[in-house]
Amino acid sequence: MQVSYIPIPVLRLILLSVLLGTCLAAHIAAVEADDGSREKIDGDLILMQGKWDLVDFIYYRDNLAKRIPKGQRQGTRTVGGNRYRLKLRIGPLQVDEDYSFRLYSQQKPKAFDVTLPDGETVIKGIYEVNADTLRRAYSQPGDPRPTQFEAGNQTYQIWKRIVDRPTEVKN
């Protein structure tokens, strides 16, 4: 009977590879938000990453809609982790601020909380996101979270993903 063995340097290399692979897999499985909240990044947070363009903006007060005309609304939302930079113009109002947010993707409808730049004020909202469209409805600070889109007292927004296409280089 012939006994085969693995040389010790090869065995060490195999064990080191297994250990590194296990650590990497554990790290990937536990990617966390960058605000220290230890919120795990789920599929919706991954979908929200990138740059978004404001398509529609509607105020609802007592179930009456006031759509902001296209020429009076302009905005981009750039998301990285659980933070975003909002550059927004609604009529004479202009915003250029950083915000943090938290998703509650297991709730029905899916929900979010946004912490305003003062670090204390929170607005509550609901959302739907897919590969290229983000719908959001949110209440004013201190008001209850909306339970449906386009009703009650809320602000409703539709955002479309901005895809940066490479420019063609001419020789």
- 119-169 tens-digit pLDDT: 999 999 999 999 899 999 999 998 999 999 988 889 999 999 998 766 666
Could you tell me how many residues make up the chain? Answer: 171
What's the pLDDT score for residue 40? 56
Q: Is the pLDDT of residue 23 over 50?
A: no
Strand partners of residue 90: 73, 93
pLDDT for 156: 95
What pLDDT sits at residue 8? 66
| Contact call for residues 34 and 101 (beta carbons, < 8 A) | no
pTM for this structure?
A: 0.72
| Strand ranges inside the chain, DSSP E | 50-61, 64-67, 73-80, 83-90, 93-104, 111-115, 122-129, 133-138, 154-161
CA distances from 64 to 2, 57, 58, 127, 151 (A): 86, 14, 10, 20, 8
For the chain, list the domains and their CATH numbers: 43-161 (2.40.128.20)
Q: What is the pLDDT of residues 76-110, one digit of tens each?
A: 999 999 999 999 999 999 999 999 999 999 999 99
With the CA atoms of 41, 47, 53 and 56 taken in that order, what torsion angle do they form, in degrees rounded to the nearest 10? -100
Tokens of 138: 């949110």
CB atoms within 10 A of CB 67: 12
Which amino acid is it at 1? Answer: M
Interstrand relation of 133-138 and 122-129 (parallel, antiparallel or unpaired) = antiparallel
CB 78 within 8 A of CB 84: yes
Residue labelled with tokens 């605000």: 35
Q: Residue 26: what pLDDT?
A: 41
Phi (first) and psi of residue 33, to 5 degrees: -65, 160
Q: Are 102 and 44 in contact (CB under 8 A)?
A: no
